[in-house]
Amino acid sequence: MAEARTLDARLPIHGMGRVGTPWWGMLCLFATEGILFAYLIFSYAYLGSQGYQAWPPTGVPPSLVLAIPATILLVGSSFVLEYAKRRARMGAVGVARLALAIGILMGAAFVALSLKEWSDKPFTLATNSYSSIYFVLTGTHLAHVAIGLIALIVLLVWSLTGRIGPGHEQHRTLATLYWHFVDVVWLFVFATIYLSPRLA
Amino acid sequence: MSPVDPNPPISPNPPEIAETLEAAWGEAPGLKGWFGSVDHKVIGIRYLFTAFAFLIIGGIEALVMRVQLAGPDASLLSPEQYNQLFSMHGVTMIFLYALPILSGFSNYLWPLMLGSRDMAFPRMNALSYWLFLAAGIFLYLSFPLGAAPDGGWFNYVPNSSSEFSPGPNIDVYCLGLIFLGISTTVGSANFVVTLLRMRAPGMSMNRLPIIVWGTMTASVANLFAVPAVSLACLFLWFDRNLGTHFFEISGGGQPLLWQHLFWMFGHPWVYAIVLPAMGMVSDALPVHCRRPLVGYTLVAMATVATMVVGFGVWLHHMFATGVPTLALSFFSAASFVIAIPSAISVFAWIATIWTGRARITVPFLFFTSVILLFVIGGVSGVMTASLALDWQLTDTYFIVAHLHYVLIGINLFAVTGAIYHWYPKMSGRMMDERLGRWVFGLMFTGFNLAFLPMHWLGLAGMPRRVYTYAHNMGFSATNMVVTIGAFLFAFGILLFFTNIWLGARSGRAAGPNPWEGPTLEWAVSSPPPIYNFAVIPLVASRHPLWEERIGDTGEKSLFAEGFLLDRGKETLAVTPLDGEPDVILKMPGDSWLPFALSVALMPLFGGLLLHSTLLAALGALATLVILILWYAPHADTAEDEAVRVYG
């Protein structure tokens, strides 16, 4: 006689990391967003190789004065957030929250430096093809940083209000993973905007 | 009258379990259940319904154009109206019909075929549908005002730049496609994760139905291709509204960049709208031939190979734009090569019919006609892969003929056959076979009458996208034939919808497996219970329902016993490759969020279109709030749970 039975064996619910489904969804997001930046960089290269004699048209590669500290801040924030995530997993809530807050500040500083660099530029969005692709490429990345920041701030608020506890590993993992992704993308954007004109 | 298949479903559904699962899975009554449904079957049928509605709209646009072109020097339509009609016809058929109709089938069929209770992300599934509907409405909002997109479906610059196309027409196109792109991306990600994780234990990669291979390949391709067109549209919108110089030549912009980005997307997209349809033929045709598909592995691999090569042929749409000879040669060669994987499916289908015992059913007729039409469309495709020929034929009616043979031949004819094949599963009733034969006869005759002569028109030099032609050019008689064929074809489609409607009203009861199919969707009742499988099956072969019939000597698939998962709205996720049980997923119930998110995006895109910062900001804020609610942590954080089984 067939009947419903409960076994001794147990299976995880939702699952952490790769065992759950959201991690794979995030991977799909990275695939499609990553390729978006690939198309942006392709457009940069296409406009640069088909149009002007010099690229950037001014003939001078963009300055590294703000870009280098911004890069260090952004890459550093990834390590800080990874540390926060690992402390949270071990139950060290206070340290984790502090590290998360520091990570958020570092990300915000990156945004501030980027905006400063934008306002220092002698050209605007509508000046020429270089200015257009420059602002749209860095701007698309900056928008991703902003979304990441909002996610991290929400995470911190949820943690402080007790809505996220030790059992919500998935939320922490995904937010941190997204931040790492935005970081890696920046390295490609940085190489495109700042390094490639110096190689030519 | 007794059902066609009088047997009970092979997958058991004992009443006491059905009651528990019904309570956990059932939809809320009233509006919340309707707007908030996350059932993949409901969403699938909505996709089919909406896509067919767009097919009718796009079809009427085509008929109006055919009336205009029936005779020379006609003045029914002004050139401006004609431009909008052919643009909206293309956009509608390619973006709002061809992919969504396949998403509808895949949404409905995937969990049933894979032996799961739902897709990986049910709310995202609902979201992709509502976004599709919202983007479709958005693209049509300006149509009544006479300001619909009018730059053709590929919207070339500089024709579509603000200098030559002032007015909102092209802005609607740009924003509408970005809007729709979100829907496609969300849906594709859902298919990919569903494939990787949401399968019955034992449903390993080598046992997947071909439609799953097709949709998976298309979905991965969409993830990689859609950003190209979204970016191109964003660039163009910036050029038109903020004075940037991406395509605008005076500031160093490059008009050809549009064509590159568009076709980097466009060509993979063409495969995305045929590969799942080819998969439907590969799965359903063998049922009517009463034997397994010949060359399963080759067909599966050819599906993936077509797409891989499909990313390397975009330049063949640009042979006449003056790109360097080396690039021309490479892309011409790649375009020839792609014929090889495409042909593998054709030969597999022919071999399946040849070596099987075919029943001449209506689905069989449609699937067989797919083979013929695909060969005609494929051969005209190989012809234009040749540079010398393409330079003569590009932008003529020959290309119009080619693309309609490919898209209607492989997509619409396969879809129609698939409706006849799976309608009994979706509705529990059969469609009338006699009427179906009339539908087939009319559609097949009408289609060929309409499109075969277009080859000749193209060879005779009639350019595409002209709103009329002079009486002494020798096009008149052929165009009249084309128009008659188009109306015959449309009448066939009207009869097809009548057939569906009659089936719902008075069709013969189907029973669980009226066609004696081999795959898991036929193991449950028709229509299936909301939770699909009361007991999750254990899959041991590629044809779980045919193991005895084809003398499979290996292990047998198990239906009578297996995972029960009846503690709330639960389903099982497996390891990506081997399909080992891995984790229990608590699935979300009905939710307003997907509907609300697509509504919130309307003011966002509307604000951008109307240059209203306030409206756009409100939309963006609402979107953000909804997303935060979406990811709100659930209170229950139990880590594991004892496994419940049946049997």
Burial class (CB in 10 A: 0-12, 13-18, 19+), B391: exposed
Cβ within 8 Å of A, B 224-283: 224, 226-228, 230-231, 234-235, 238, 242-246, 251-254, 256-257, 260-261, 264
**Best residue in A14, A149, A177 for a mutation probing chain B (most B CBs within 10 Å):** A14
- Decide if B628 touches A, using CB distance below 8 A: yes
Say whether residue B12 is in contact with chain A using an 8 A CB cutoff: yes
pLDDT at B363 exceeding the cut of 80: yes
CB contact under 8 A, A2 and B14: yes
pLDDT exceeds 80 at position A1: no
**Identity of the residue numbered A92:** A
More confident residue, B324 or B486: B486
* Nearest to B269, CA basis, from B347, B152, B181, B178: B181
The minimal CB distance from A47 to the residues B124, B193, B254 is found for B254
ipTM (interface pTM)? 0.96
Comparison of pLDDT for A80 and B643, the residue scoring more: A80
B323 near A CB under 8 A: no
- Interface contact flag, B633 A171, Cβ < 8 Å: yes
The alpha carbon of residue A57 is apart from the nearest alpha carbon of chain B, in Å, by 9
Provide the shortest C-alpha distance from residue B263 to chain A (in Å): 12
**What average pLDDT does the structure give for chain B?**
94
Taking an 8 Å cut-off on Cβ atoms, the answer to whether A39 and B639 are in contact is no
Residues of A in contact with B573 (CB under 8 A): 15, 20-21
Q: How many residues does chain A have?
A: 200
> Mind spelling out the 3-state secondary structure of B129-153?
HHHHHHHHHHHHHCCCCCCCCCCCC
User: For residue B632, which residues of chain A lie inside 8 Å, CB to CB?
Assistant: 163
pLDDT digits (tens, 9 = 90+) for B230-246: 999 999 999 999 999 99
User: Could you tell me which residue, B26 or A41, shows the higher pLDDT?
Assistant: A41
Chain A residues within an 8 Å CB radius of B639:
12-13, 167
Q: Does A13 contact B643 at a Cβ distance shorter than 8 Å?
A: no
Condensed to tens digits (0 to 9), the pLDDT of residues A107-138 reads 999 999 999 999 999 999 999 999 999 999 99
Task: Record the pTM.
Answer: 0.96
Question: Cis ω on the peptide bond leading into residue A62 (within 30° of 0)?
Answer: no
B122 touches chain A (CB under 8 A): no
Confidence band of B429 (pLDDT split at 50, 70, 90): very high
What does the CA dihedral A37, A42, A45, A47 come to, rounded to 10 degrees? -100
**Which residue among B121, B238, B586 sits closest to A25, beta carbon to beta carbon?**
B121
Sign of CA dihedral B606, B612, B618, B621: positive
- Contact A5/B230, CB-based, under 8 Å? no
Chain B residues whose CB is inside 8 A of the A127 CB are 245, 251
pLDDT mean over A32-40: 98
Nearest CB partner across the interface for B254, out of A13, A28, A46: A46
Question: Is the pLDDT at B49 greater than 60, yes or no?
Answer: yes
Mean per-residue pLDDT, A57-85: 95
With a CB cutoff of 8 Å and minimum separation 6, the contacts of B56 are none
Find out whether the peptide bond into A56 is cis, omega within 30 degrees of 0. Answer: yes
pLDDT mean over B89-113: 97
- pLDDT for A167 equals 80
| Residue pLDDT, tens place only, B529-545 | 999 999 999 999 999 99
Do the beta carbons of residue B194 and residue B113 sit within 8 Å? no
Contact B121 A4 (CB under 8 A): no
From CA B264, how far away is CA B246, in angstroms rounded?
A: 17
B15–chain A Cβ distance below 8 A for any pair: no
Residue B495: pLDDT band with limits 50, 70, 90 = very high
Residue A54, pLDDT score: 87
**Quick check: B633 and A164 in contact, CB under 8 A?**
yes
Q: Is A198 within 8 Å of chain B by CB?
A: no
- Taking one residue from A and the other from B, the number of pairs with CB-CB distance under 8 angstroms is 187
Best A35, A37, A39, A173 residue to mutate vs chain B (most B CBs within 10 Å): A39
Averaged pLDDT, B153-181: 95
Q: Which residue of A has its CA nearest to B636?
A: A167
Instruction: Give me the pLDDT at residue A20, please.
Output: 87
- Partner residue facing A158 (CB), from B12, B231, B633: B633
Give pLDDT, residue A168: 86
Question: Which residues have CB under 8 Å from A108's CB, separation 6+?
Answer: A149
Show which of residues 39-68 on chain A sit within 8 Å of chain B, judged by CB atoms. Answer: 39-40, 42-43, 46-47, 50-52, 57
Residue B284 amino acid letter: A
What distance in Å separates residue B121's CA from the closest CA in chain A?
Answer: 8
